[in-house]
Amino acid sequence: MNLNFQSLASQATILIVDDTPANIGILVDYLEDRDFRILVAQEGEEALMRAQLSQPDLILLDVMMPGIDGFETCRRLKTIDSLRDIPVIFMTALTETADKVKGFEIGGVDYVTKPFQIEEVFARVNTHLSLRLLQKKMTEQNQQLLKEIAVREQAEKSLISSNEQLREINQRMEDLHQQLMQSEKMASIGQLAAGVAHEINNPIAFVNSNLSTLESYIGDLLEFIQKCALVEERANLPLIFQHEIAALRKQFDIQYISEDASSLMSESLEGIQRVRQIVQDLKDFSHVDDAGKQVVNLHPGLDSTLNIVRSELKHKAEVVKEYGDIPDIECVPAQLNQVFLNMLVNAGHAIEIIVWHS
């Protein structure tokens, strides 16, 4: 059966459950760019509530989380009738066979090993959403059950072959990436960094302003809902109206939305502030407006450069800053920051990743 995956993506909802904001950011950015609708939870209990409210088509579930872990979260999902058929792909740094067997026994359909390759995640999401669609069609069309089973078996065989090809492609891509990094590490990125910072700064400014206004609007709406509830209590409405209002509150889960809205706005504003800090770091790193020699303190340049290479180093090493009392020096800041960048990237390439825990 030929599936138009573009139309599938336009209606597919994916719930990402992970307590690491950096992982969430990578997955959300990549999958939203490919027209998926993305929901996010940072711990197991929240994931269960969001899944029941939104009925996602697929769940990407971290294994190691505070509170209940990914295995327990999956086990509870499979006890809920409306959720048990949702495919769960585990994201984990655990590599023991026993851990993988445990995941499959409680209902997981696949594993993505951390640190993950985003293309592999996308391929596995595509595969399991396609299988999910096939499963729904088989349920609706019992008369084609045998044919659908044969198609699924063929799809599983194709998946094994595709995974082998994907591993080979990933290895070739990694080799090419290392060659590219080696050839470009001495190239100046100052002008590019400044341009990117400028392009990002304007939309971030109005998004930040809109979020602040939206936060005020949501606060007013929640206050309005609370006051409506007080009026309802005082109005002594007929029981039929009281029951209808109570049913509407339950249907739209007003209590949960009221509790969650403020948290979502706060997290969104924190995320915008993080982006603004990254933009400022890009500007500090590039020093395009100060191309000549200056007498500067090295500490701000080191800080901005460390922020620029944070994603390169965060899974490989813990950076400990012990600057000491360094006097100001005369230099070209952008060029010196480039030297710091090359040294840090080289150091990161020299570190072999053994295992990374979520």
Same domain, 177 and 259: no
The verdict on 203 and 315 lying in the same domain is yes
From 184, 219, 237, the end of a domain falls on 184
Last residue of a domain, one of 184, 213, 246: 184
Both 344 and 230 in a single domain? yes
In terms of pLDDT, which residue wins out, 145 or 257?
A: 257
Domain that holds residue 242: 190-349
Confidence band of 106 (pLDDT split at 50, 70, 90): very high
Q: Is the pLDDT of residue 190 over 60?
A: no
Cis peptide upstream of residue 203 (ω within 30 degrees of 0) = no
Mean local confidence (pLDDT), 301-322: 78
173 with 242, same domain: the answer is no
Residue 294 within a domain:
yes
Looking at residue 326, what is its pLDDT? 79
CATH number of the domain where residue 31 is located: 3.40.50.2300
Q: Are residues 32 and 166 in the same domain?
A: yes
Three-class secondary structure of residue 80 per DSSP? coil
pLDDT at 307: 78
Confidence of residue 50 (pLDDT cuts 50, 70, 90): very high
Mean pLDDT of the chain: 78
Q: Please give the full DSSP string across 188-207, using - where no structure is assigned.
A: --HHHHHHHHHHHHHHHHHH
pLDDT at residue number 48: 94
Q: How confident is the model at residue 186 (pLDDT cuts 50, 70, 90)?
A: very low
Mean pLDDT of 281-305: 69
Average pLDDT rounded to a whole number, residues 125-132: 88
Predicted confidence at residue 69, as pLDDT, reads: 92
pLDDT tens digits, residue range 320-355?
Answer: 888 888 788 888 776 777 788 788 878 877 776 544
Q: Give whole-number Cα distances, 24 to 30, 208, 322, in Å.
A: 10, 20, 30
232 lies in the same domain as 168: no
Work out how many domains the chain is built from and give that number.
Answer: 2
Q: Is the pLDDT of residue 199 over 70?
A: no
Asked whether residue 58 is assigned to any structural domain, the reply reads yes
Burial 288-316 (b: 16+ CB within 10 A, else e): beeeeeeebebeebbebbbbbbeebbeeb
Measured CA to CA in angstroms, residue 207 lies from 121, 229, 272 at distances of 29, 32, 8
* pLDDT > 90? residue 303: no
Q: How confident is the model at residue 282 (pLDDT cuts 50, 70, 90)?
A: low
| Of the candidates 275, 357, 270, 262, the residue with the CA atom closest to the CA atom of residue 318 | 357
Same domain, 143 and 276: no
In a domain, 82, yes or no: yes
87 against 289, higher pLDDT: 87
199 lies in the same domain as 176: no
Long-range contact list for 162-171, CB < 8 A, 24+ apart?
162/123, 162/127, 166/119, 166/120, 166/123, 170/117, 170/119, 170/120
Give a yes or no: residue 357 inside a domain.
no
Q: Which of 150, 184, 218 is the last residue of a domain?
A: 184
Domain presence at residue 269: yes
Q: Are 12 and 128 in contact (CB under 8 A)?
A: no
pLDDT value, residue 356:
45
The mean-pLDDT minimum among 99-108, 163-172, 189-198 falls in: 189-198
Give residue 88's pLDDT: 94
Q: Does any domain span residue 37?
A: yes
Q: How much is the average pLDDT of 86-109?
A: 87
- The answer to whether residues 225 and 109 belong to one domain is no
| Residue 354 belongs to a domain | no
Q: What is the mean pLDDT of residues 198-215?
A: 72
Q: Which residue has the higher pLDDT, 303 or 124?
A: 124
Q: With 60 as the cut, is the pLDDT of residue 182 above it?
A: no
Tell me: do 146 and 280 sit in the same domain.
Answer: no
The pLDDT of residue 352 is 66
269 with 159, same domain: the answer is no
Q: Which of the two residues, 1 and 20, has the higher pLDDT score?
A: 20
The answer to whether residues 13 and 128 belong to one domain is yes
Indicate whether 355 belongs to any domain: no
Contact 16, 41 (CB under 8 A): yes
C-alpha dihedral over 253, 254, 256, 260, to 10 degrees? Answer: 130
pLDDT tens, position by position, 234-247: 777 777 877 887 78
Q: Read off the pLDDT of each residue in 131-152 and give the average, rounded to a whole number.
A: 74
pLDDT at 189: 53
What pLDDT does residue 239 have?
78
